């Protein structure tokens, strides 16, 4: 394996993908385009660990942290409520009496709001420019895709009103033919449902779908229908380069290509649309 610093910024994991037939492009939102909710894992993980520690099972904070970290990674991309249902299950498995997962979801959203409210306000008042709150190269990538005439969508596990508001704040909403997020009736929405519906309604095969995501779920759902999955393994600490842990996770989920962010947009799009056969 090539060390991270020697890798090309576009890493082709699966050279067998059928290129040149992309018609629909699906984006995850948080961590894939928007950085407004950056660091949500550092809010969710300690909250879940704290709830489990209260049960005094004898497990150390370190042990619980490792369990919760894996759980959060594997459910990244799912609706928040499912992560809270998972917390309730973990509490029950340890002999505890969990609250309604909606109670946990509210607690998490309140904690997350403390972390992100200044970012939202800074965008609303113009103190921070939208470009500073998106993954590098996002607008360029969206422009290139628009020029190719494909239809683009957002599917997020974040509640839909938030996704719509935040996509307007970072000025990407006009690129999309549909912006789909979590509903109060959580069984009505999932990335899988969005993918199946857009293939059915447009009467196109899975291979016409291209997905960009930083989570397990959207990558897995895309591969299930035979689409192309591009995983973003952004190193959030430095804002550039690859996070090895994320890379491993995304490859395990089935990612065909791994990129650090979208500064490679031109080459990547030329490759995916079959204009070039190599990326290095």
Binding residue (CB under 5 A) for Mg ion from 9, 11, 30, 232: 30
Residue numbers 102-121 binding Mg ion by CB under 5 A: none
159 contributes a contact to Mg ion by CB under 5 A: no
Closer residue to Mg ion (CB): 64 or 153:
153
In whole angstroms, the minimum distance from the beta carbon of 129 to Mg ion comes to: 22
Closer residue to Mg ion (CB): 32 or 208:
32
Closer residue to Mg ion (CB): 79 or 267:
79
Residue nearest to Mg ion (CB): 31
Interface characters, 200-219, with Mg ion (x: CB under 5 A): --------------xx----
Sign (positive/negative) of CA torsion 86, 89, 94, 99? positive
> Cβ atoms within 10 A of the Cβ of 151, count?
16
Closer residue to Mg ion (CB): 160 or 270:
160
181 contributes a contact to Mg ion by CB under 5 A: no
Q: How far apart are CA 273 and CA 20, in angstroms?
A: 4
Closer residue to Mg ion (CB): 52 or 112:
112
- Transcribe 98-110 into DSSP letters: ---HHHHHHHHHH
Count of residues near Mg ion by CB under 5 A: 5
Closer residue to Mg ion (CB): 31 or 98:
31
In whole angstroms, the minimum distance from the beta carbon of 98 to Mg ion comes to: 26
In whole angstroms, the minimum distance from the beta carbon of 30 to Mg ion comes to: 4
Contacts of 269 (CB under 8 A, 6+ apart): 141, 144, 145, 148
Binding residue (CB under 5 A) for Mg ion from 11, 28, 220, 256: 28
The residues that touch Mg ion, with contacts defined as CB under 5 A, are 28, 30-31, 214-215
């Amino acid at each position: 394996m090539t060390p991270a610093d020697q890798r090309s910024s576009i890493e082709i994991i699966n050279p067998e993908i059928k290129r040149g037939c992309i018609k629909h492009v699906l984006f995850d939102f948080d961590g894939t385009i928007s950085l407004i909710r950056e660091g949500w894992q550092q809010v969710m993980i300690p909250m879940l660990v704290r709830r489990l520690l209260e049960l005094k099972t004898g497990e150390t904070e370190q042990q619980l942290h490792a369990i919760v970290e894996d759980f959060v990674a594997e459910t990244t991309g799912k609706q928040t409520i499912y992560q809270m249902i998972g917390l309730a299950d973990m509490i029950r498995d340890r002999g505890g009496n969990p609250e309604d997962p909606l109670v946990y979801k509210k607690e998490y959203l309140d904690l997350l709001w403390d972390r992100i409210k200044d970012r939202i306000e800074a965008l609303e008042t113009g103190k921070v420019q939208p470009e500073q709150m998106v993954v590098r190269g996002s607008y360029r990538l969206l422009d290139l895709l628009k020029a190719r005439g494909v239809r683009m969508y957002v599917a997020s596990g974040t509640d839909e009103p938030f996704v719509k508001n935040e996509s307007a704040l970072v000025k990407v909403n006009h690129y999309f033919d549909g912006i789909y997020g979590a509903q109060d009736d959580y069984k009505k929405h999932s990335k899988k449902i969005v993918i199946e519906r857009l293939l059915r309604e447009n009467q196109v095969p899975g291979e016409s779908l291209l997905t960009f995501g930083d989570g397990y779920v959207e990558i897995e759902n895309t591969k299930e229908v035979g689409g192309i999955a591009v995983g973003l393994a952004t190193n959030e600490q430095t804002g550039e380069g690859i996070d090895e842990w994320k890379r491993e996770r995304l490859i395990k989920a089935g990612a065909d290509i791994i990129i650090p962010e979208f500064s490679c947009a031109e080459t990547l799009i030329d490759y995916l649309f079959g204009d070039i056969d190599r990326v290095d």
